Structure 1
Amino acid sequence: MSLTFSKRSHQQFQHWLVRFSLIRDSHGCVNVKGFSIFLRKCPTTLQIAITLPLNVKNYCDISTNKTFIFNVGREDLCHNIVKDFEYDLRIIVLTYKRSASLLKLLQSLNALETDGDSVLLEIWIDRSIDGHIDSETLISARSFLWRNGPVHIYLQSKHVGIIGQWIYSWVPKKYKFNKSKISKMYPYEIGLILEDDISIAPYSYKWLKAAKKFYNSTNYIAGITFQSESLINAESGRDFNPLPSLTGPSFFYRLIGSWGFAPEPRVWLKFQRWFKTKTLKHPYVPKILMTRWYQYFESINTTDTMWTMWFIYYCHYHRLVTLYSNIFKPTNKTFRSNKIPRINQVACLALNRKEPGLHYSKPVKPNTNCLNWYWRPEYTDFKKDTILFGYNGKPTKIELL
């Protein structure tokens, strides 16, 4: 294969060669424990042809489809090649041993419209409790050909579970060269976290980027979610479907939506630090149904399957809310209606396929019709006075939280 790097990356790669005492022969070829690397200098770039061993246990693997594979804890072996690259969007896919489900998500990502922005796809694969990586899942990840940019595959060094995958896979990165397309005052890349049972709509990033730009100065946002179906009233457990004529294309809700979640970078960094040093044992939030769910999980020793309870607790006591989309298919008149929309009218930016796994013990037929394949200008007609709903599903104000 052949890769082309900038002059800056050329210097980084040369440093990497020196660091590990790799010796080039007279033909410009580097050989080390199965690696065969051919270097060819150009005036401003360095072309690298790399042949790699099949065993990726301790090394970085670069395959023919621009896929880098890192072992978490050993990624320093090759991170110098790629760590200084900056991206507008970093997509973090979390998976374990559902290869077919992973492929469905990756196929939906291939239809994603990125508006010419630079995008990096990261696939984080967890290990089993006894330390094994599911081979079919790894093969699915390695064989995926993504049209929007490079793919980095991270193999966890040990079993970390869904809570470890969610909380530690994305550490928000600042731009070094002030390249943000959202605002010069917004120095962070956009991070989007997806579990492998999610499929996303082609124009979901277009909506996300517009929402980031519009709400850039709003200081009480914990993140933006693509979830718009199966919403419930956090206190009663009843369905929660805000009227589109009341909210417009977006609304705030006190509860997090994890079906396609883009955390606010500053909030996420603070949450990660808090979670790492916390002494709290029971993240209970009064009056909400999720606390009862978590208490049940405590009784059967499975609290590690509900990472969201910790973020709900953190957001509750820091008065933070999540931004939701509330858009509908262009074939109906829902925007002008005062009626609660039918579920098949919702234009979802993300769909949970409800695959058997940690959260569903058997197949559940998803509402595949809700995934939105269209774009309309009114989808980003955001309101300055965007409505905020409390846990009880009633409009409130941030000052009253």
Structure 2
Amino acid sequence: MLFSSFILLSTFGLTACNSDDNKTQVSKPPVLPDTGFVIVGHRGASALRPEHTLASYQKAIDDGADFIEPDLVPTKDGYLIARHESEISGTTNVSSLTQFADRKKTKKIDGLDYTGWFTEDFTLNELNQNVKARERIPQYRPTNTTYNDQSSIPTLEQIIELADAHYKKTGKIVGLYIETKHPTFFQKQNLAMEDRLLSALAKYKYTREIAPVYLQSFETTNLKYFHEQLARKKSLKHAKIIQLLDSPNAIPGDLQDQATPANYASLATPQGLKDVASYADGIGPSKTYIFSNNEFKQTNFVKDAHAAGLKVHPYTLRPENGFLPDYLKCNQIATERCDSGALKEFENFYKAGVDGVFTDDPALARKALNQFQK
């Protein structure tokens, strides 16, 4: 009832009588979180909770993220679930479950061999049978292991419902910044994610009409498909497309089969960025496209991307020494947080003119932004 009233007030306005000056007041519609600089909770607040869990996404929301970022992979029966990769031995307890011992396999994905347990070999019901999330990088985040085996792998629908529930409770819109993982590989497995994703997003009013939804990928072909489908169907009111950039010499999975494949370095040139702008609204580069890991020297990337009409959202800013550039580390203990160095790194990227950042610690990013904007 509260949600319905909120929408009615936002749509038609509310006339109220002020006892002091008797002026008419009109309620305003909610402000979309991407009208200014955006803070993206990378896999949630993954510096503080195991990534891609509802607890991690909720922590990111509570800590001031404008967007939460699920990476999506499919199950055997076509459900979209949140994992960094479909190989889940490093992010769950699946390897310890004897009933699934026979599911261990080796697969080649985008030219690389992976051995372990893969989501596409499990139904959603099977994954819900005692498969629990674990910290992916305990060597850097040992304290996160205290949350191991507490959370199931969330579905896309559960993530949408989490953000929608927060909106209904607080009136604050939190966007979804969704990555499709290895789309070409899954298309070849008859588990294409694109139409499933668009259908799921269109099913909910929150993602269909209220919240911004960004669709991102390290590949190019599926982003062009998203661009065409969104332009034709207009099913999502606030949808945008983001091209991700991996290391310069790497090649997008969809282009590896082509006779003359283009690497990410070619996409990052001024002409490459103009080509990207024909189907995307923004670009998500590794942070080293903008600053070297070893010295504070800015490249022309932000200027070139803006000249092409693209927003720039680099990844990933993290608070531990092990992830900071050498010139910002507090010490050489990789597992220790270095908030002073992390705050300085945020400031450097804000000064560089980026339009948003991916971060594992949205609260720290928000603190740095508040200080920068004073």
Band of TM-score, shorter chain: under 0.3
Structure with a larger share of its residues in strand: 1
TM-score (norm 2): 0.27
* Normalised TM-score (structure 1): 0.25
* Structure with greater Cα Rg: 1
The structure where helix makes up a greater share of residues is 2
